[in-house]
Copies of this chain bind each other. A is one copy, B any other.
């Protein structure tokens, strides 16, 4: 019933390519089916002004979509002169998710910025971005460890994210675009590798959802994230 005969709680094929570009301290192309996001982690020895002198680090993120990553061309945000509300929402979510798995104090006064740029969009760009950014950030921290700038990697574990939704009575995991546009309820779940929650954002597009629905959505998300974390670990072991 789902495209490519996917099962309800099955994530799309995940491909994580490290060192995708040459300059970033961590560079990952993450693919969830046809959704492709380039996640480049940059290390700078310079924290935001409001954090200076506290001995702590910071992790932030920016998100963008190439104008023709979508079916019809979107206006380039640089040309329209501002980032839209959706862009801001997403990059704030990515940044919070990443910070939740980093010991900012152990970082020292260093800033990591992860740029997540969508090359091709087929639903779930924000969750793919978070999942790929976690790997890019891990590589950036390892780069600092290898260079003697840090004693140990300050990440407490992986962070991964998935979207789940209800289509009629069915709970589906890792929605692609055609499913997403038809779904009544859409939920993004961000979890640590041990299955605890960092963010839960559920929205009823049509009918409100019940407590029972929410339970099923969370269950499905947990299953999906488990597979994503496995893909992250496999990528980092290569």
> A214: CB under 8 A from chain B?
yes
Total interface residues in chain A, CB < 8 Å = 62
Residues of A within 8 A of B (CB): 21-24, 27, 34, 36, 38, 40, 42, 44, 62, 64, 66-71, 73, 76-79, 81-89, 91-92, 96, 100, 113, 115, 117, 119-120, 122, 187, 191-192, 196-204, 207-211, 214, 218
Contact at A34–B22, with CB atoms within 8 Å?
yes
Inter-chain contacts of A208 with B (CB < 8 A): 100, 191-192, 196-198
* A66-B40, A82-B78, A100-B204 known; A196 vs B210 contact (CB < 8 Å): yes
**Secondary structure call for the A interface:** mixed
Partner of A23, one of B68, B83, B210: B68
- Number of chain copies forming the complex: 6
Q: How far is the CB of A136 from chain B (nearest CB, A)?
A: 10
